[in-house]
Amino acid sequence: MKHKNSFLVYSLVLVLIFISFSCKSLKDSKNGELCVKKPKYIFLFIGDGMGINHVSLAKYFYKEKADDISFTNFPYFGVCTTSSKNSLITDSGAAGSAIACGEKTNSGNISYYPWFSEDSIPLSFAKIAHEKGMKVGIITSVSINHATPAAFYAQSPHRDLYYEIGNQLPESNFEFFGGGGFKHPQGKDNDQPDLYEKAKSKNYIVSSNINDFKNIDNKDEKYMFVNPKLGWESDMPYLIDRKADGGYSLADFVKTGINVLDNPNGFFIMLEGGKIDWAAHSNDGAAIVKDIYDMDLAIREAYEFYKKYPDETLILVTADHETGGLSLGNAYKGDDSQFILLDNQKISINSFSQKIKDYKQNNEDYFINDIWKFSEEYFFTESPIYSASDSTRVLEAFNYYFYDKSPSTTLEPKILYGSENPVASTFGNIICTKAGLGFTSWSHTAAAVPVFSIGVGAEKFGGAIDNTEIKTLLLEALGW
Ligand SMILES: [Zn+2]
């Protein structure tokens, strides 16, 4: 009998241990309710301007190079509508606000909702997560006070108020900022107190050296890790333009963010691949695929983290809107596309534009033969085979830019060339056309964007959603 009793007790203990173990990983034992797994570590990747076709193009391109865009292999896929409060075609300010705060606002606004009463203004998911004890990291390849990152920590009636937005960064007390630096750090007229100094005075450790973020003893500090090489808008270089001295990759920033933020209360990291949008505004296929790849390498770091904590991690990859009206296939090539031709392009259209502007500035006479030489020297590893009409287009762009002679078309130059240098834009268009791509716009479009997800709660993001639902679904996944 005694033996039987001890067997019963032993079995009961085992059952209790099993129940408490499964409660930890599968259930929340509070009030005896069945609980669902909740994400403790959340990654939100936003490819600015990254439509479904941009992702497919990058995937096809890298598959041909025996590589991949890894996030397309995540188990859940959704499509997300992106309109702003006042326009079917949104900007990044309104779209970032909708994703961050779960409410539409007007294009140009940054998490700005004057029609809400003071005590009911929608807060960004990042702010809510921070209030609940999670650490927060914001990373971007463009300036840190640009529209998308700003939507998570600031409020502004206009996205162009860079200084005022940057001033709100240290007030957020978010633990980590990384990637690009401040645009207008001393105000538009360079007459304001320096924003980096303000961040330091608010106990941020500001550095451009990755080693300053390794072996951190005191994890209660707040950190701002700025890429050592910045463009005129305090943005990181495109991957296609990144030289040995170009600084760090988005993967370096997310790895550093994880190191700084990892703690028992969990974290939320938002990372924006901001220059995918800039490349699409330039209709630059090669820069688009390479910057998507750069973001994918950062996503692979998050995925490694997910593999360590699969029951506690959620990774979302989406976009704020589509840019460029990109088609995979065009009227010239029919079904004969060759996306891998983009690999012949050595630098971005934007960098090539700069070379041509420099040539104009440094010379008094200009020769079309010099332009052809530049294209071989700087732009292509292997030039495409030019048709007679390609050559005519290059000559017309040359005459327009250097001698102000209108091209022989009824199209306005801004429709024909967009905002890049006309000559560089024409060379870029020639290679994209030969690769089989088409662009219908130099701006954003209303096309729906993809949502790829994996991890705890990922299934919520499958199917058709609107960008305002992302915050709600995150809160739902957390049970908040
Ligand atoms: Zn844009």
Distance (Å) from CA 278 to ligand 1 centroid: 6
| Residue 3 pLDDT greater than 70, yes or no | no
- Yes or no: say if 297 and 25 are a contact pair by the CB < 8 Å rule: no
Percent of all residues in the chain with a pLDDT value above 70, rounded to a whole number: 93
Q: Is 262 exposed, middle or buried (0-12, 13-18, 19+ CB in 10 A)?
A: middle
Write down the pLDDT at residue 19. 41
DSSP H helical ranges for 107-175: 125-131, 147-153, 162-172
| Residue 229 pLDDT greater than 50, yes or no | yes
Domain boundaries, the chain: 41-325+443-478, 338-435
Q: What are phi and psi of 248, to 5 degrees?
A: -100, 170
Mean pLDDT taken over the chain: 93
Region 102-121: what's the mean pLDDT? 95
Distance (Å) from CA 171 to ligand 1 centroid: 27
> What single-letter amino acid sits at 340?
I
Write down the pLDDT at residue 406. 87
Question: Mean pLDDT lowest for which of 25-29, 158-162, 175-179, 409-413?
Answer: 25-29
What are the CA-CA distances from residue 150 to residues 155, 231, 249 (Å)?
Answer: 8, 19, 21
Residue 25 banded pLDDT, cuts 50, 70, 90: very low
Write down the pLDDT at residue 410. 81
Write down the pLDDT at residue 34. 59
Distance (Å) from CA 402 to ligand 1 centroid: 28
Region 213-217: what's the mean pLDDT? 84
Residue 366 banded pLDDT, cuts 50, 70, 90: very high
Region 431-457: what's the mean pLDDT? 98
Q: What is the pLDDT of residues 265-320, one digit of tens each?
A: 999 999 999 999 999 999 999 999 999 999 999 999 999 999 999 999 999 999 99
- Which residues, by Cβ under 5 Å, contact ligand 1, an ion? 277
- 436 phi-psi bin (left φ>0, alpha ψ -120 to 50, beta other): left
pTM: predicted TM-score of the whole model, two decimal places: 0.92
Question: Mean pLDDT lowest for which of 6-10, 92-96, 367-371?
Answer: 6-10
Q: What is the pLDDT of residues 179-200, one digit of tens each?
A: 999 999 999 999 999 999 999 9
Region 137-153: what's the mean pLDDT? 98
Distance (Å) from CA 320 to ligand 1 centroid: 9
If DSSP codes are grouped into helix, strand and coil, which group holds residue 247?
coil
| Residue 167 pLDDT greater than 60, yes or no | yes
Write down the pLDDT at residue 286. 98
Write down the pLDDT at residue 15. 44
Distance (Å) from CA 274 to ligand 1 centroid: 9
| Residue 6 pLDDT greater than 90, yes or no | no
Distance (Å) from CA 361 to ligand 1 centroid: 28
Rounded to a whole number of angstroms, the distance between the first and last alpha carbons of the chain is 50
Q: Hey, what CATH class is 41-325+443-478 in?
A: alpha beta
| Residue 422 pLDDT greater than 60, yes or no | yes
Q: Is 12 exposed, middle or buried (0-12, 13-18, 19+ CB in 10 A)?
A: exposed
Q: What is the pLDDT of residues 326-353, one digit of tens each?
A: 999 999 999 999 999 999 999 999 999 9
Q: Is 15 exposed, middle or buried (0-12, 13-18, 19+ CB in 10 A)?
A: exposed
Region 138-147: what's the mean pLDDT? 98
Region 148-157: what's the mean pLDDT? 98
Distance (Å) from CA 444 to ligand 1 centroid: 6
